A and B are shown apart, each in its own frame.
Chain A
């Protein structure tokens, strides 16, 4: 069993503190869900775990089996077993999807070890069929011209191929229709086991209808403010977050509105 442990994590983006002391422990074999209103730091948590260059950890710790993750680069974290399915995956011209996945799989092998091409082809064909993706997608340039749903399935395809210990799924449900949601949910469930743990970030119950979650966390003001079981999802779906804000005496996290005057357009003044 492996353990991802986050303690009192504080993270900044452009001098604004977003995470204000997150505590979270995930073990392989568990699936956790994080819910919360917009702008509470859910995606920042995902990006900070992966080591995104825009986010700077100012306090706290993050370890994987006791090993300090914060001192590792993004690629090292990935090779150690962390995977982040992005909310908005990049489109990269010229790199075929399958070449990319093959290179990423090769990067996980030890020195002198070669990825078996035959095994790779068999495996990717099966994963594509499991996700009911179009068979040409692995051969096309990485996410280029993919629909929103295809991009999300492609993230899950990469997850299936790379077999991480911990997958963080950042709003994987956005842009997915009901059928695709079901397929993605089934594929995440299929990965459940003693070697896999997941952190699912979502706004809606509908994804969690298809994924068996063990713990549900609610995030507000850059912290996890409540942890519970599946019953918490139903309550949020029925009542929103206001009851919890009132219970915790939290203010709304409205973004500060700034009104800027951009100037006036040049115009001709009629001559008197």
Chain B
């Protein structure tokens, strides 16, 4: 274990980082299947996961607490399913960043349920890279009045396989706000399906739901499909969705090349720019470097 910690410190942890190393949903010694919310306290924590069997993870942020959680799936074994149960109690304010990486080429399933209570505020960022088959579903319930969700997901599929992503956002209470933007990148003859379901239940007055899917296809045969679904059962609400999917714009490429950048450099810059709304929020440091190396290897 010491060797693993040293490895992580070299790769992605700064000296001052508070972190938990979890193996199959349990903290190091196997004694704590549930992270004590007090361990999160009002500060920042990095959770590093090593998963090689089906695993359930539970995260709960206490009412009124402020937490910044960075969750890195460092190793994910083949053919495993990871289920996460996340709860932000009333008034909790959470910055959540997750990096999920299926490196093995086997199947990986990630299912996550998130519940936001009254006045809870969640800023969620997901970076997902899959080398193998990937199924991903995230179910988010805004179940307390004034709960707010702001979510950006960067999804890269360079596996030559089909990846299915499904995001359900359900507004169950009044004055709830959700804003989700997905940035999908697909190459190497892969297919990326992104389904986004937005549901506003009857009585959830004054809600505001926004969904946007952006896709960048890097070869001639890959496919990105966005399937939005809005189910609106309340008159007093705002709801919208939009999608834009395409290849790199020839004129953008020409513009960058006309300044001396090679085609490869220009494409890299454009792809980097595409992901920048999320990546610009990751502070400079080892973790950012670690993520960029993975992105570089998959594009």
A interface residue numbers (CB < 8 A to B): 50, 52-53, 73-75, 78-79, 83-84, 86, 89-90, 92-95, 99-101, 103-104, 107-108, 141, 158, 162
Contact = CB atoms under 8 A, between A and B. Distances in A.
Interface of B: 249-252, 254-263, 265-266, 269-270, 272-277
A92 B257 contact: no
A114 B164 CA distance: 43
Nearest to B276: A94
Nearest to A52: B254
Contacts of B273: 92-95, 141
A95 B277 CA distance: 10
A79 B249 CA distance: 22
B68 to A, nearest CB: 24
Contacts of A78: 257-260
A179 B60 CA distance: 59
A74 B272 contact: no
A158 B270 CA distance: 18
Given A94-B276, A108-B260, A103 B254 contact: no
18 contacts: A50-B258, A75-B257, A75-B262, A78-B259, A78-B260, A86-B255, A89-B255, A92-B256, A92-B270, A94-B270, A94-B273, A94-B274, A94-B276, A94-B277, A99-B269, A103-B261, A103-B265, A104-B261
Given A94-B277, A103-B261, A108-B260, 19 more contacts: A53-B250, A73-B257, A74-B258, A75-B262, A75-B263, A75-B266, A78-B257, A78-B259, A86-B258, A92-B255, A93-B273, A95-B276, A100-B259, A100-B269, A103-B269, A107-B260, A107-B262, A141-B273, A158-B259
Contacts of A101: 259
A69 to B, nearest CB: 13
A95 B260 contact: no
A144 to B, nearest CB: 10
B127 to A, nearest CB: 15
A52 to B, nearest CB: 6
A53 B254 contact: yes
Contacts of A86: 255, 258
Given A90-B255, A93-B276, A79 B260 contact: yes
A222 B257 CA distance: 26
Contacts of B251: 90
B260 A75 contact: yes
Nearest to A107: B260
